[in-house]
Amino acid sequence: MPMNRLKIRKETRMLGFLFSGFFTILFERTRSRLLVSCTIALNILSACLAVMGVLLLVSEFFLFYVNSSTVIWPHKSGRLLSWYLFLFTILELIVSCTVTHWLYRAKYTGQ
């Protein structure tokens, strides 16, 4: 493995999801059109990142099943963790799309 790779800590990767949740809570406390726009934008960013995660996990599943001849227990446990990650990524995608839809309706239709 090359040593000059950019290393990003796990906490840094989760900032997109944290900021979308932060702006959603902040919007609920103090309502303004600017916060609605920021919340919609960050939830769209969160949904895009979730879609990228789903695509990466699907490609991982496909490559693992194509290239695996014998499966040993570390592969099974890694595959189980990948399935859990896949389920939570799908859940994040559903939640961010739902919240974005609600916020869009609240901003543009006044509901």
Q: In the 3-class helix/strand/coil scheme, how is 17-66 assigned residue by residue?
A: HHHHHHHHHHHHHCCCHHHHHHHHHHHHHHHHHHHHHHHHHHHHHHHHHH
* pLDDT at residue 14, rounded to an integer: 64
Average pLDDT score, the chain:
79
Q: How far apart are CA 43 and CA 49, in angstroms?
A: 10
Residue 36 lies in a domain: yes
Residue 6 lies in a domain: no
Residue 2 lies in a domain: no
* pLDDT at residue 17, rounded to an integer: 65
% of the chain with per-residue pLDDT over 70: 81
Q: How confident is the model at residue 108 (pLDDT cuts 50, 70, 90)?
A: confident
pTM: 0.70
Residue 5 lies in a domain: no
Residue 24 lies in a domain: yes
Distinct helix (H) and strand (E) counts, the chain: 4, 0
Q: Evaluate if residue 64 carries a pLDDT over 90.
A: no
Domains in the chain, number: 1
Residue 4 lies in a domain: no
Residue 9 lies in a domain: no
Residue 47 belongs to domain spanning? 15-108
Residue with the bigger pLDDT between 27 and 4: it is 27
Mean pLDDT lowest among 50-54, 68-72, 95-99? 68-72
